[in-house]
Amino acid sequence: MIPVSEPWFTPEDAARVAACVSSGWVSSTGPAVKQFEAAWAEYIGRRFGIAMSSGTTALQASVAALNLAPGDEVILPTFTIIPCALAAIYNGAVPVLVDSDPKTWCMDVSAIEAKITPRTRAIMPVHIYGHPVDMEPLLAIAAAHNLAVIEDAAEAHGARYRMRNGDWARCGSFGRVSCFSFYANKLIATGEGGMALTDDPDLAARLASLRDLCFIPGERFRHEATGFNFRLTNMQAALGLGQIERTEELLRRKRAMAGLYREELDGLPLQLAAEEPWASSSFWMFGIVLDDSVPFDAAEMARRLRCCEIETRPFFLGMHQQPALLKRGLFAGERYPVAERLARRGLYLPSGLGSSASDFRRVAKAVRGALERA
């Protein structure tokens, strides 16, 4: 079976983790956590990194750190993963959705303004599958309406966005706070893990406090505020550190994978993962969307590929189609046709760092074969 993703670790990565175990520094108290925070913040181009136990908890702590009032609204794409909506909900805020841009699959920035109300406090752009959101107009809307931007760069390690003045900026360098996941399938993988990044020293201090149950330094076990245990362990941080040093190589591998798929899948009735001229995608996962001319949907394509020993993943099911959120009285009757079509017609192909060019060629051949049997 060619897996959809598998991590790629070196003997040096294993040695770094083993060193934590042999030194006894296995909890979040240990030197690697601070080194990991500093190294990732520097790579992204931000002042502060606050390591968290996952991308989910990084988002949750980030929304918490903004001190929203109950009923305040956070605008986010419907086409994303559920922690984005939950970060708002668990903080008493209301997620408000926008549809996707049909080309990049990221949130349609031109749809944001229509969703702004007097209760709107924040926008959460999510860079989908490694492709940046069109950030500059989004930042202009946020500035005009005094909204915080919580950038979800969980899937976009190393991706870059070109500003209109020609300067390139890394995904994760925008807004008041940005969040990453270091889950096992991410470019930098620590098993589970995440980080919130910001340039604001007060926000950084609040995030660090929220992560650690709002303990007060010097007054152990007395709390003035309530927080969470969202700490990352020293072992996880140590695993991430060596990977940061080879981020450019990891990115090169992802981009080579995307280039190969683009060549091999050319001419088929598929929409392939895009890359806008103003974007440098990290191609975290290589997505395809079946053209309307294909007489079956993504679930059938996945089944056909599975028969060829190829694993795939369905695209996201929109937040407005999530039974768990509808049961909370959210999004009743809302429709987002682009996201609905992506959910029906889209899936992503094996994109792992552990797969080879010949694996990707075999996948492309199987996709071609599956479409020929239409």
Contact region for ligand PLP (CB under 6 A) — 48-56, 65-73, 109-117, 233-241? Answer: 48-56
Catalogue the E-assigned strands of the chain: 48-52, 73-77, 94-98, 120-123, 148-152, 160-162, 168-170, 177-181, 194-198, 270-272, 279-280, 286-290, 313-314, 346-349
Residue 56 interacting with ligand PLP (CB under 6 A): yes
Helix (H, G, I), strand (E, B) or coil at 80: coil
Q: Which among 148-156, 163-171, 236-244, 356-364 is the span making contact with ligand PLP, rule CB under 6 A?
A: 148-156
Does residue 149 belong to the site contacting ligand PLP (CB under 6 A)? no
Site for ligand PLP in 182-241 (CB under 6 A): 183, 194
Q: State yes or no: residue 30 binds ligand PLP (CB under 6 A).
A: no
Task: Please report how close the Cβ of residue 126 comes to ligand PLP at its closest, in angstroms.
Answer: 5
Largest pairwise CA distance in the chain:
69
| Per CB under 6 A, 155 contacts ligand PLP | yes
Smallest distance from the beta carbon of 180 to ligand PLP, in angstroms? 8
Task: Please state, in angstroms and rounded to a whole number, the distance separating the CA atoms of residues 365 and 141.
Answer: 44
The DSSP-derived string for 104-172 is T-SB-GGGTGGG--TTEEEE--B-BTTBPP-HHHHHHHHHHTT-EEEEE-TT-TT-EEE-TTS-EEETT
Contact between 80 and ligand PLP by CB under 6 A: the answer reads yes
134 vs 268 by CB, closer to ligand PLP: 134
175 sits near ligand PLP (criterion: CB under 6 A)? no
What's the rounded Cα separation, in Å, for the pair 58 and 355?
A: 29
Of the two residues 56 and 355, which places its CB atom closer to ligand PLP in the complex? Answer: 56
Residue with structure tokens 């939950």? 86
Q: Is 172 in the site for ligand PLP (CB under 6 A)?
A: no
Residues of this chain that interact with ligand PLP (CB under 6 A) are 54-56, 80-81, 83-84, 126, 152, 154-155, 181, 183, 194
